[in-house]
Amino acid sequence: MTLASIIEPYVGKTGGLITALHAVQKERGFLPEDIEAVAAEVFNLTRAEVRGVISFYHDFKRAPQGETVVRVCAAEACQAAGGRALVADIEKAFALKMGETSASKDLTLEPVYCLGLCSCAPAAMVGDRLVARADTDKIAKTVEKTKKERVS
């Protein structure tokens, strides 16, 4: 499917651009480089307008993600509960910086801005699993569990 054919059904609908971008991400796993030009043409917008929408929402990915995505909360409550130290420790443990994907494409680290677990900060998410009172050991074990389940 071309990008245009994915997004055309959403033209003229309320919230059409955002829904179309989600459809592209679902289909491709991320928003490819030419999405701004194609969406601008199909929706009769400027590329800057499309770029503004994409950059506003953290859920839109501009590059392929790893098979397992580890999201570490970078919002206030988690920062106050040792979130920065946790990020530094996780980056060291996985030899990746926030926002990076491993060369083998098995793991992505990224920040997230509140997981709704503020009372159990610091919080993280591994795939679709929430990790309360997160530490590097809990996260690493959850990553391994997620990988094993994917293999079996």
The residue ranges that bind ligand FES (CB under 6 A) are 73, 75-78, 114-118, 121, 123
Closest CB to ligand FES among residues 20, 73: 73
Is residue 88 within 8 A of residue 95, CB to CB? The reply is: no
Is residue 18 within 8 A of residue 53, CB to CB? The reply is: yes
Tell me the closest approach of the beta carbon of residue 83 to ligand FES, in angstroms. 7
Q: At a CB cut-off of 8 Å and minimum separation 6, what does 22 contact?
A: 59
Tell me the closest approach of the beta carbon of residue 146 to ligand FES, in angstroms. 20
Closest CB to ligand FES among residues 79, 102: 79
- Give residue 63's region: left, alpha or beta (phi > 0; psi -120 to 50): beta
Task: Name beta bridge partners: 71.
Answer: 110, 125
Q: How far apart are CA 86 and CA 56, in angstroms?
A: 26
Hey, CA dihedral for 73, 79, 81, 86, is it positive or negative?
positive
Closest CB to ligand FES among residues 107, 124: 124
Tell me the closest approach of the beta carbon of residue 76 to ligand FES, in angstroms. 6
Tell me the closest approach of the beta carbon of residue 108 to ligand FES, in angstroms. 19
Closest CB to ligand FES among residues 121, 126: 121
Task: Name beta bridge partners: 137.
Answer: none
- Which residue from 145, 117, 115, 121 is spatially nearest to 133, judged by alpha carbons? 121
Closest CB to ligand FES among residues 39, 73: 73
Tell me the closest approach of the beta carbon of residue 127 to ligand FES, in angstroms. 17
